[in-house]
Amino acid sequence: MPPSAERESQLLHAFLELADILVDDYDVAEVLQQLVERCVELLDAAAAGLLLSDQRGGLQMMASSSERARLLELFQLQSNEGPCLEAFRSGEPVTVADLSTEVERWPSFAPEAVREGFRSVHAVPLRLRRQTLGALNLFGSEPGQLDEQDMRVARALADAATIGILQDRAIRRGEVLTEQLQNALNSRITIEQAKGILAHAGGLEMDQAFELLRNHSRRNRARLGELAHQLATGTLHPDELLAARQ
Amino acid sequence: MSTPGNDDPTVPVGAPRAAMMAALREGKGGLDSVARAGRACVELLPVDGVSILMTSGTEPGEVLFASDEVIDRVESLQFTLGEGPSFEAVGTHRPVLVPDIATDPASAWPVFATEISQLPVGAIFAFPLQSGAIGLGTIDMYRRRPGLLTHDELVIALEIVDVMTQILLGLAGTGRDADIGYVWLEDLPHHHAVVHQATGMLIAGHAVSARTALSRLRAHAFVTGRLIEDVARDITTRRLRIEEIQT
């Protein structure tokens, strides 16, 4: 670990970098990968992994600083036990100074971790108020605990990531529903245009034109909006509907 | 708690938002929220009228609320001409602040600037309402007396823009202020329906695209000195034949 003043500067740099990424257009997966790599650089950790909920109650491996860490995270998921899962489920940090003593607690995970060369673990939940999104796992190759400051830094980094993830989800959810509304509104306009097209081509009143459109949509199992769009863009000729009248 | 530069120590930053939220909570949700927020805007800022528009595609579309006949007329004029400060705001994604329409060179909407001289409008402020990259609508304000908004007034205006954006998102069921209320598509105004129908008739009659058809409708409205809705109604009721619209 680098000496104190240099470390302070590196910490500051890491936070600024994270903040910069988060206020701009960002890719969540990239942010999380940055996060785990920074953890290994700045903290007394040999490897780091991150699990994220898939919003249906399951967890997914999202980022890891090394292949060994990745396999260990996957192993936790498969064996349904481990510090990351506990941190996620409880919403509280989980710290173990020596994994070799936790075989009863995690009969599959603990021995596997030790086999992979990891002796200690500190798992931080990704949490905002009552919502826990996942967990960040920091593995050490020696027995022992992270010092107070490192634990605080880990939590701060996890908090920043949590905010970034939630913001990204909120924006995307908003975008999807707003897009749906916009599409519905555009569809409404196209349907009026289609009525006009049929009215002119067939010498109809608007109500009759709409009837024609609706009947054709039912008979051919075509969506009203899609049909209207085809008429409005000339892909479908009004005569095709007018000719099919009984 | 006053902020530096805020001349009125009784109006803390955040108060406009609080005032609007209070007005909204008394309401029925949906479009009623839009109307309440619009009326609150006239109270909170030195403007004479406010309107809120939804975007449709890339243009300002239906009027969700207009606080008086003047601003309603302003919107009809913009929709007829297919240009104006709201169009510019939607197109550029930036507020359009015009302190004096009579004297400012309006390069983006010269025809509108001329036509609007008949109305008691000195200043116009059009703010786009957007969520990320998606345009939701605009909020347009006018004042008889020319002049810009002060820095503090602009701060309030932007807070209002923020609340109004959430209200529009709420109409789509996505707002973070959940008690604002979802609205069904059928309940949203559809006053432009007749214009779209007439556009359709022109598409068929002239064998042109929707865009061209609408442009011709607008041109005819302008040349005959009428609003586009009125021309459209004459077309759909066959008082005006498609052949009489210039190609």
What pLDDT is attached to residue B178?
43
Residue type at B131 in one-letter notation:
S
pLDDT tens profile A188-218: 899 999 999 999 999 999 999 999 999 999 9
The pLDDT confidence band at residue B4, using thresholds 50, 70 and 90, is: very low
Q: Is the confidence at residue A98, as pLDDT, over 50? A: yes
A197/B204 Cβ within 8 A:
yes
| Phi and psi angles of residue A3, each rounded to the nearest 5 degrees, phi first | -65, 165
Residues in A 33-62 with any Cβ partner in B closer than 8 A: none
What pLDDT is attached to residue A1?
54
* Distance to chain B for A206, nearest Cα, Å: 8
What pLDDT is attached to residue B180?
44
Element of type H or E holding B216 = helix B210-223
Residues in B 63-82 with any Cβ partner in A closer than 8 A: none
What pLDDT is attached to residue A6?
83
ipTM of the complex: 0.84
Six token digits for residue A172: 């995307």
pLDDT tens profile A57-73: 678 888 999 888 888 88
Chain A contact present for B134, CB below 8 A: yes
SS3 A45: coil
The mean pLDDT of B62-80, rounded to a whole number, is: 96
In three state form, how does the secondary structure of B45-72 look? Answer: CCCCEEEEEEEECCEEEEEEEECCHHHH
Chain B contact present for A227, CB below 8 A: no
A175/B134 Cβ within 8 A:
yes
Which residue shows structure tokens 């240099």?
Answer: A6
The pLDDT confidence band at residue B87, using thresholds 50, 70 and 90, is: very high
Across A7-11, A123-127, A170-174, B4-8, least confident range: B4-8
pLDDT tens profile B183-220: 667 778 889 999 999 999 999 999 999 999 999 999 99
Question: Looking at the partner chain, which of B169, B197, B204 has a beta carbon nearest the beta carbon of A178?
Answer: B169
pTM for the structure as a whole: 0.66
Who contacts A14 (Cβ-Cβ below 8 Å, separation ≥6)?
A38, A41, A42, A157
What pLDDT is attached to residue A19?
78
Question: Looking at the partner chain, which of B57, B172, B201 has a beta carbon nearest the beta carbon of A181?
Answer: B172
Question: Looking at the partner chain, which of A179, A185, A206 has a beta carbon nearest the beta carbon of B236?
Answer: A206
Six token digits for residue A242: 């007018």
* Distance to chain A for B6, nearest Cα, Å: 28
Q: Is the confidence at residue A173, as pLDDT, over 80? A: no
Q: Calculate what percentage of chain B has a pLDDT beyond 90.
A: 65
Chain A contact present for B47, CB below 8 A: no
Q: Is the confidence at residue A2, as pLDDT, over 60? A: no
From CA A66, how far away is CA A76, in angstroms rounded? 16
What pLDDT is attached to residue B183?
66
Quote the DSSP letter at residue B219: H
The mean pLDDT of B231-236, rounded to a whole number, is: 97
Q: Is the confidence at residue A107, as pLDDT, over 50? A: yes
Minimum Cα–Cα distance from B169: chain A residue: A178
**Higher-confidence position of B247 and A229:** A229
Quote the DSSP letter at residue B244: G
Residue B28 burial (CB < 10 Å; 0-12/13-18/19+)?
A: exposed
Q: How many residues does chain A have?
A: 246
